[in-house]
Amino acid sequence: MIDYIGIRKILEEKTGLAKFNSGKTNIISYCPWCELDSTKNHGHLYLECIDNQNQMPVFHCFKCEDVNKSKGTLVKLLRYLRIDPRKYISEDILNSKSSERNYDYYKKSLTVHKHKINTQNFDLYRLKKQYIISRLGYEYNIDRIPRLIFNIREFLRENKIDLKDKNRFIDYYEKSFIGFVSDDGTMMILRNIDNNSPYRYVKLALVENKNFFKDLYTIKSGQTKKGSNTIILCEGIFDLLVAINNIELQEVKNKSCIWASVLGCGYMNAISSALDRCKLTSSNVIILSDRDKNENYYWKIKKHPSVLNLEVNWNKYNKDFGKLPIGLIKKYF
Ligand SMILES: [Zn+2]
């Protein structure tokens, strides 16, 4: 059995709008991928209502199914909205052949690619070390930066990573860039140490990413307490590294469980991914924003089904948090 009445209710709660069509063959709701800021009186996400103990219903969004992969089984939809499928779908259907693959897929969809990272002699790379110090300060303990790579050529060779059309740039990367490997090991973000170069960042795919959740670069701050959870998001890796040790942000740090750089995947996706890493279903969210994102942008994020309270900070002295000094301009949504 599937509790469609309950599903309609929870879809309405999470997305803002969900109705049965006249024949009760579908629930039509706002799409949680593309319509959370919609004010129209109809949505584009269609979920079929069938009751057959061997078949898992499917859904799709007419607007964004190709772009956001917003199609699949009811289990996928519920899990995206952080709803336990067992609340609405009986065991026999969850265990039926048609849903087996999908249910398992979303349960165990995370593969972490562990790369070999040799101990690095930072002193061999004087200019790279100097660059880090200039960004983070003399007292910063470089050894504690997760998966920081100076010897890029060796890293790629040791792990047999083929950059394909980018292989020809390896000498350039080795000479002028420092690298950071993402949490799940699917990518390396390179930062040019020459501030005058127009190529400031390069994103290298290390393996094909088949994970359901987006890869991030995170540091756990270990403050998880039941009932009082906060995640902190920022755009770039230097925003994270600079801000996490800054005195202005200690109060924020003390109530957070994870700091995440979203690596260009967008905040909506990053929230689901960061929560999954902390085994949370919802949390308060604090964003350290770039100056180019204004308030309107954040009203949409506030509607994310897993966000309890949203606080956004801008740095009044710089365009982002990757550069000192830091002074906070706060706004609550
Ligand atoms: Zn959509």
Query: Residues within 5 Å of ion ligand 1 by Cβ?
Result: 31, 33-34, 61, 63-64, 70
From the number of C-beta atoms within 10 Å of its C-beta (0-12, 13-18, 19+), residue 292 rates as: exposed
Instruction: Quote the pLDDT of residue 86.
Output: 87
pTM of the predicted protein model: 0.72
Instruction: Quote the pLDDT of residue 102.
Output: 54
Instruction: Quote the pLDDT of residue 110.
Output: 66
**Grouped pLDDT means (10 residues each) for the chain, 333 residues:** 95 93 92 87 92 84 87 89 87 72 52 88 89 89 92 96 94 96 96 93 89 86 64 95 91 88 86 83 91 87 87 95 92 93
Residues 6 or more apart whose CB falls under 8 angstroms from that of 98 comprise: 54, 55, 56
Instruction: Quote the pLDDT of residue 282.
Output: 82
Instruction: Quote the pLDDT of residue 97.
Output: 63
Instruction: Quote the pLDDT of residue 276.
Output: 80
Calpha distance 222→259 (Å, rounded): 10
How many whole angstroms from 87 Cα to the centroid of ligand 1?
Answer: 24
Edge-to-edge strands of the sheet including 71-73?
18-20, 26-29, 45-48, 58-61, 71-73
How many whole angstroms from 181 Cα to the centroid of ligand 1?
Answer: 31
Q: Which residues of 152-174 are buried (b: 16+ CB within 10 A; e: fewer)?
A: beebbeebebeeeeeeebeeebb
In terms of phi and psi (left: phi > 0; alpha: psi -120 to 50; beta: otherwise), the region of 82 is left
Among residues 103, 115, 87, the alpha carbon closest in space to that of 215 is found at 115
Q: What is the CATH number of domain 217-332?
A: 3.40.1360
How many whole angstroms from 60 Cα to the centroid of ligand 1?
Answer: 8
How many whole angstroms from 218 Cα to the centroid of ligand 1?
Answer: 28
User: Phi first, then psi: what are they for 58, rounded to 5°?
Assistant: -120, 165
How many whole angstroms from 201 Cα to the centroid of ligand 1?
Answer: 31
Name the β-bridge partners of 194: none
How many whole angstroms from 44 Cα to the centroid of ligand 1?
Answer: 6
Calpha distance 283→59 (Å, rounded): 27
How many whole angstroms from 118 Cα to the centroid of ligand 1?
Answer: 44
How many whole angstroms from 285 Cα to the centroid of ligand 1?
Answer: 23
How many whole angstroms from 62 Cα to the centroid of ligand 1?
Answer: 7
How many whole angstroms from 30 Cα to the centroid of ligand 1?
Answer: 8
Domain boundaries, the chain: 4-107, 122-205, 217-332
How many whole angstroms from 209 Cα to the centroid of ligand 1?
Answer: 22
DSSP 214: P
How many whole angstroms from 133 Cα to the centroid of ligand 1?
Answer: 44
Residue whose tokens read 């899990």 = 79
